[in-house]
Each structure stands twice: as structure tokens, then as C-alpha cells.
Structure 1
Amino acid sequence: MTSASSASNLGALAGAAAVRREIHAALETGAFRADCQGIVSLANGDALGFEALTRPASRPPLDTPESFLTAAANEGLLAEVDHTWRVGSIARFGPGFPSERLLFLNVSPLSLLSGHTTAGALEATTRQFGLSPERVVLELTEGEKIDDFDRMRRVLGGFRSRGFLIAIDDAGAGQSSLQSVVELRPDYIKLDRWLSRDIEFDRSRRSMVQALVGFAHQVRARVVAEGIETYEQLDAFIDLGVDFGQGYIFGFPAAIPVPAPPEVQLHTARRTQRGAGPPRIPGSSGCATSPASLPRWTRQLPATPFSGCSRRARISTWWPSSTTKASAGSSPAEGSSNGCPGSLDFP
């Protein structure tokens, strides 16, 4: 062995050891950050729930979820990391979580099959932090292929018996995700974000979405389209009968649950109910033709759409007031230029 190859091998060993130490340190100290992003009804723009999104607070190259989870899998720690992130998300968002909304939690099949996450323990954790299992959706990720569907069905049956809901992520991305949809019969089917790309004029994508929606509704599942960023994409999914949407048009990931901007809700309701007169949004006192007629919690939001360049978080009154701080001039302003009462910001 040459001195050069020997040095290379030593460098690789040192690098692997450093990665291992970084992962263990993150697990011991809880060096993770949890945000959430809304999942919105395409019937009226109201929030179905929020997906918890966890990121590592580690140094490069372990500073992205993908790189951290890949490294954890290589070290045999994926199930432990997956479990830690999920418990951390429940602890972060459970207390004061919006009533009647669902919390979507990513879960790897390995974590369920390995026993790191059991139905009884997860129920105890959710109740400890103020949630009932009926408000928690376990979103199976496609990180690992499921080889034994009979066993997975039995495991999921234990979670379902306690009230947990099941979702399949990235449907349409490959054969394994479609097989999971057929074999596991989830409550929610989340379409892979690549289907959103050019959905407004790509006939092949539209045909696939239409087929998935038809199958889902036959087995009493609901469909969530991910990666919606423009009104054109939003309109296409509404026209195809998709039930819910997720993406930047409804809001960027934020530290607290934030509903969709009022004008996006109004657009969604109008598109859904074309030709049926002025649309009405449940909870409003009249026709949804202005922000003043929206439910109270949405009227606390600025009217600037997320699809523009603004990244300011929208804060709703459904989150505990101790976590928010009113910005200057945030009192309701009659006849303001955006037609909406003032806003709340957080750092």
C-alpha cells in the first residue's frame, strides 16, 4: 500500500469517526430544530393540519435533513434519530396546538418495524403533550423499501387501533410508493412534488394525478398535493379533484402553525365553487368576498401573498399569545390599503 493510499484511508476513518461523534452529540443534546408547514383544504382554503419538519443544528456536511439521515443510516442510527425527531416535534407543537387540526409526523418504516416507536409509547407521548392520537397522522417516508407488507400491516394495525391516522408520502415517485398505497390503504395519500411541476399543462402528469385521486376516493382515502407554488398549479389540482394542498403558496415552514393567507383562501373557495355564486367559507358570517368575512383567526393576518417575495411569518390567534409579540402599528386599521387588520410578527 502506498503512503498516499494509506493517508487517504486514515483520512476516511477520521472523517467517519467525526460524523459518528456529531450524530451522537446531536442525539444527546437535542440539537434539532422543528418547524411546521400547513396542509390546506382545496375546497375552502382552511387548514387541515400541519406537517412537522425537523432540521439538524449540525455543522456541514450534516446540516441538511437528507445528509444527516443518510449519515445516520450508514451508522445504523436511523431508527433512533427518526424516533428522537418525532418525539421532539410532539413536544414542540403539542401544547397549544390548533384545535381540530392534525399534526403530520414523518416516520420511517424502519423505526416502526424495529420497535423504536411502539403504539403504546407514542400514544402516551402524544397525550402527555396535549394531543389525542386521533389528531396525529403518521406519514410513512420512502427512505427505505418495505419488504414485508404483511408485517407492516400488523404493526400499523396497532397504531390504528389507538386512533392514529396513516399517510403515505411521495406517492407517484416510484413503484414502491404505489405498492405501499395499495397494500397499506392509508387515510391520506401525499403526491410526490414532481407531479406539481408543469401540472397546469402537462397531460401526462394530470392523467396520473386523476388516476390516483380516483383510486384514493374509491378506498376512502384523501389526497394531498405537495409542492404547490403558483395559482396555476393550485387551480390545476382543484380542477383534478385533489382534496388538500401543501406548498409555498400556502406558507413557508415556520416556527409555529400559520394558516394560509386570506387571499389564497378566497381564491381557493372561488375556484372550487365556480358558477355557484359567491363562495362561503365555513365559520364566516357571510359571503367570502373580503377579508372581513373570513373566520376571526384569519383576519389577524397581512394580505401579502406568500407567492411573492415576502417571507414574513403569519401569526394566527390560535397560538398561545405568550409566543407572539405584536408589531408596531398592529392594531386593526379600518380602510387600510390591504383591506385587512394588522399583523403579528415573530423574530
Structure 2
Amino acid sequence: MPGTLTNMLKRYNKKLYTIIVILLVLSVGLTIYTFLQPATTTVQVNDNTSLIETGYDYKAEIIPNILYPNGGTVDAGKTIFKKITTAIPFSLKSTIHSKRQVTAKGTHEVQLIIKAGDVWERSFQLEPKRRFEQSGTEISVINDPYKIDLAQVEAFISQVEQETGITPDQYTLEVLPDIQGTIKYSGVEKPFQVQDRLIFQYSMEEIPLASEKGFTSMVSFTSSQVMTKKIEAFGVQLPLRFVRISSALLSIFLLVTSIYMIKRLKIDVLSTETLEIEIINKRYASRIIPVSQKINIAQKSIFSLDSFKSIIKISDEKELPIFFNKDHKEESAVFFIVDGDYLYTYETPKTNNSDMKKITGSDKAYARG
């Protein structure tokens, strides 16, 4: 009976204590993790974006021929036939699109560059340098028509070949818009440059397009913002500071609880022994005779039994009374049967009263029901 009570109490407290220790370890781990993490983080926020789009649209001025009897200006595909084409008119449009109003200023000019492979190159101005300054969300930097005069190009190339005696395998015609300036937003000014080229290969029979016709670039305005770092748990985002404080307080609470349980477990074990005496006396009151003094054990053969059930069994078999003597000093009790020269005893485990006082803070032991 006492062993059963003690074991049940130990098992129950051991399970509860194990759960608390596991929670304590997890809580301490979370606390350490949160304290190692910065409470805030700096992120770059995109306040405004300016998109610079540059596009070309070109045609071909041709002489009357079997394909185009009337000649004139026609839409050109990716390949222009050199023998029937006199010029390449094109339009150049460069626009700044912005989510919020900005101010753009700078200069722009347009050049035609004739290249003879890696041998030589020469630039011709199609538009002189001009200044611009505009504000808004849609700023047109360039939106003008231009023309490549193929007769002048052919005349220049022929003269260079005659004077140098060098005839490269291939030439290229490059339209170069040089746009340089700044975009200003909310007191911040950022530079930009556009040099997106329209390129044609120039050979004896055809002039094919060798580049894209549309280009984009971007200027972003960002700012730094300090954000409170958060931790996601079960689909909910919690501020790191809140998790840090909560886990620290929980760790302290669990630590105090575990210490209290260790002390409580010691008290419960001691109290269980006292409880055993009370249960036996209450259950078998009619069969137990209390005595104030222990029996004189001289000249008697003593049989020490390991449980009270053995005392009951012997009492039933021999039809003898059970005597009871309690040692208040040591908080232990002796149940015994006298059978002539034989003495059958069962003594409950002794409880050291000084240990009880150390744990409970008093001399009084107690039993917990």
C-alpha cells in the first residue's frame, strides 16, 4: 500500500516535471534565439520609379521600281534594298514615365556614325546639342524626325576607299542619341544617360537592321525604413520584442515551477509515509490495539515483515490482535503481533524530522489526501 502510493505519486510528479522541463528547454531556446536576432531591420522602400523608354520607327525612300512603281516613302522591313533606296527617314522618341511628378533636365543630341569594321569610323551630326528641362509624370525628351541620306553615305565611303585604298568587307550605320541629364524627385537628384543605338549593316546590295527598335532603362528613388522584426508562429506574425519578453518571462516562470516541484516532491514522499499510518489505523481500527510503549523484545524471536498485509495475514491465521506503537520523534510506527516467544513486526519507514523541518519550515509533518 505505501509503496503503491509512493510510486503513483512519483510517477505523476515525474511526468509533470518532465513536461515542465521540456517546455523550459524550448522556452529558453526561443529566448536565446530572439535575443540573438536584431529587434529591427532596415529595408529599402521604392518611393518612385522613372522609366525611360526610347523607340525608333523607320521607313525607306525608294525610287520607282518594279516592286513599287510609284516609288516614294514606304514601310521597310528588317531589310532595305540598297539599289532602290535613296534615304532612310526615321523618328526617334524618348520619354520619361514616372509614377510621381519629377523634374528632368539635361542635354541631348543625335549623331550618325559610319563604321568600317575596326578600321575606321566617322560621326555626322543629325541634331545639334540641345538643352531641356521639364516637370511632370510624362516627360518627352526627344520626339523628332530624322533622315539618313544614303547618297551622302555612299559618296563618303567611296571617297575614303579611293584615298586609303582600303575596302572593308562590311560597314555599319549607327544612329546614336546621346541624352545626358538628371531626374529630381523629393529633393533627391539622380543622373541618367541614354545611348540606345539603332544599327544597320551596310553592304553592296542590302541594308538589314542589326539592332532592336525599342529600349528601356530605369531610375529608382528609394529610402531606408527601420522596420520592427517579426516572427511568424501558427500563421500569425508577432513583433520580435513581444516574443522576446514573453519567452523570457515564461522561462522564469517554468524555472521557478520546476524548483518548486522538486521541493514539493520531497515533501510528498515524506508525507506519504505519515499518510500510510493514518490509512492503516482508519481502515483496521477495530483490529489494532494502540500501546504507549514498545514490547520487551528480550527472549523473543523477531520476524520483520516487509508489508502490513503480512501482518493482517498472520493475524487472521493465528487469530491474534495487532498492536500499534508510534515513535513521534522519528515519525515512524511499529505494528506487531505477539505469538508466545515469537514477535512479528512491520515498521513503517522512518522520517527524519529535521529533514521535514528543512523542507516545510516547521516540525509538523502533514499528509496530502
TM range (shorter): under 0.3
Return the TM-score normalized by structure 2: 0.17
Determine which structure has the larger helix proportion and give its number.
1
Rg comparison, structure with higher value:
2
TM-score, scaled relative to structure 1: 0.18
**Greater RCO (CA < 8 Å, at least 6 residues apart):** 2
Higher strand proportion, which one? Answer: 2
